Amino acid sequence: MKCPFCGFDDSQVKDSRSSEDNSAIRRRRECMKCKQRFTTFERIESANLMIVKRDDTRQIYDRNKLFRSIATPLQKRATTTQEIESIVKDVEAVLNDTAVKREVQSATIGKIVLQQLKEIDFVAYVRYASIYHEFSELDDFEEILAQLKKGNK
C-alpha cells in the first residue's frame, strides 16, 4: 500500500478490525520509510456492475462517483459523511437486488438516490432533482416545490 505522505510503496499493518457496520475491514498501517500512520478500508468490490447511460454507453460502476453525486447536493447541509455513506450502501443494496445481467440504467440509480434524499433533506432533493431532471426553467423548480409542499401536508 502506497504511503499517502511520502509515496513509499511498503507499509505494515498495525491493526485490523471490522468497520462499525461490518461492511469493510479497517486497517491501520505504518509507512516503513517515514513512519507515518494512516488508515485504509477494504470492502467487497461490486461484481463489475455496468451502468447504462442515457446515450446507451456503458461504464463500470464507480462507488466514489455515486458518493460524490450524493455529497454534492448535501453540501452545507446538516449531514455527516457517515449519513452519506449509509445512503450509498442503501443504493448499492437496491442495485445488487435489482440489477439484471449485472447492468443497471443510470436513470434507475437517479430515482433511487432521489427517494433516499427526499427522506432526509428536501433541499438536497431539489438540488439533485434539478440535475437529474435537467431543469432549464424556473417553472421546473416551482413544480417540484409544489409537489413537495403537497406531499408534506
- Each residue's pLDDT, cut to its tens digit, for the chain (153 residues) gives 889 999 999 999 999 998 777 778 999 999 999 999 999 988 766 557 899 999 999 999 999 999 999 999 999 999 999 899 999 999 988 888 876 678 899 999 999 999 999 999 999 999 999 999 999 999 999 999 999 998 865
- Return the C-alpha cell found at 76: 452545507
Say yes or no: 97 and 24 in one domain: no
Q: How many domains does the chain have?
A: 2
| Residue 4 within a domain | no
Say yes or no: 60 and 91 in one domain: yes
| Residue 3 within a domain | no
| Residue 109 within a domain | yes
pTM for the structure as a whole: 0.68
| Residue 5 within a domain | no
Say yes or no: 70 and 21 in one domain: no
- Return the C-alpha cell found at 50: 455496468
Query: Residue 25: which domain range?
Result: 11-42
